[in-house]
Amino acid sequence: MGLAIARWWMVLLGGVFLGAGLFLHGLVASAEYFRAEASNTFFLWRWIGSVTFPFQDDSTRLALWLHEVPRPMVGESARSAWTMIAIGGMLALLSPFCRPRQGRGRKKGKRRST
């Protein structure tokens, strides 16, 4: 019974790690896209956007914020996302292999009635 509960928790934690890793990977991909769009914008428009920051819409604010995030931070987030995906996948895929040992023959003291 204890092994069945442990297997259930392993599958659950594997799914949580896998889902969180995929979600973080999507956020990192969005951050890279916004950084690239902000970098490709003419510097004068970026300056005007930073001066008029309170009046910009949410997507423009986000692009300007993400342009200021250092590149190593985004790389660390991508690495942690891939780590979470790998750990979650291993937990979810390998947990069915945790099975109780099959006993050899019948238990002592029990006889089959004929």
Tokens 């947990």 — which residue? 95
pLDDT reading at 109 higher than 90:
no
**Token couple for 97:** 């292999």
Across the chain, mean pLDDT equals: 83
Tokens 């995906």 — which residue? 85
Lowest mean pLDDT among 78-82, 86-90, 103-107, 110-114: 103-107
pLDDT digits (tens, 9 = 90+) for 33-69: 888 887 787 777 777 777 787 777 787 777 777 778 8
User: Which one-letter amino acid corresponds to residue 108?
Assistant: K
Q: Is the pTM of this model over 0.85?
A: no
User: Which one-letter amino acid corresponds to residue 60?
Assistant: T
pLDDT reading at 22 higher than 90:
yes
